[in-house]
Each structure stands twice: as C-alpha cells, then as structure tokens.
C-alpha cells in the first residue's frame, strides 16, 4: 500500500482506514472513514511537498553556512519600532 492508496476496514462499532499499515480511529460510517482517509492523504502530500521544497532549497544553497528556512517572519515594520524606544530627558 502506498501513500496514494488506503483501505477501509469494517470494525465492530464502525469503519477505519488504513494507510501505510496505520489504522485510523473508528468512524461511524464508511463515507466518513473514506473522507478522513482522503484528507489524511492530502495532508501527507502537503508535508512531503514542504520537505521536498526545503531539500531543494538546501541543495541550491550548499555549501552555505546558514541553511534556508521554509518559514517566514511575522514581523512587520522597522526593527526599531515598538515599545523598547529609549528617550533621554
């Protein structure tokens, strides 16, 4: 079974999906289990894409001393802005 595939298993109290030999929690309907499996596959694909993007960035900057980051700063404005200004009276 690959990351593009999943199986639905019927349990005593509902249905669960299996991806890469990992079982999900039990869902009350088969449709709920299938929807959850598709969402899990989508999430796994996004994580894999992020890892590929980071790996590509690292390869493109090698042998730099500072590795690239896939996160961005939430800071807006000049570094001197804010409540830490010193005033002399």
Q: What is the pTM of this model?
A: 0.55
Residues facing residue 10 across a β-bridge = 15
Q: pLDDT tens digit string along 20-78?
A: 999 999 999 999 999 999 999 999 999 989 888 888 887 777 666 666 666 766 666 66
Domain ranges of the chain: 7-59
The token pair that represents 33 in the structure block: 């289990």
Cα separation, 11 vs 17, whole angstroms: 10
User: In the prediction, which pLDDT does 8 show?
Assistant: 95
Terminal-to-terminal C-alpha distance of the chain: 72
> Among residues 8, 10, 12, which one has the least CA distance to residue 35?
8
Could you tell me the pLDDT band of residue 2, with boundaries at 50, 70 and 90?
A: very low
């Amino acid at each position: 079974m690959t990351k593009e595939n999943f199986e639905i298993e019927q349990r005593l109290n509902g249905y669960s999906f299996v991806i890469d030999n990992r079982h999900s929690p039990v869902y009350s309907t088969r449709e709920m289990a299938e929807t959850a499996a598709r969402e899990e596959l989508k999430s796994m694909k996004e994580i894999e894409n992020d890892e590929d993007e980071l790996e590509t960035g690292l390869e493109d900057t090698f042998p730099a001393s500072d590795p690239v980051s896939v996160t961005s700063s939430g800071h807006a404005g000049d570094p001197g802005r804010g409540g830490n200004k010193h005033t002399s009276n």
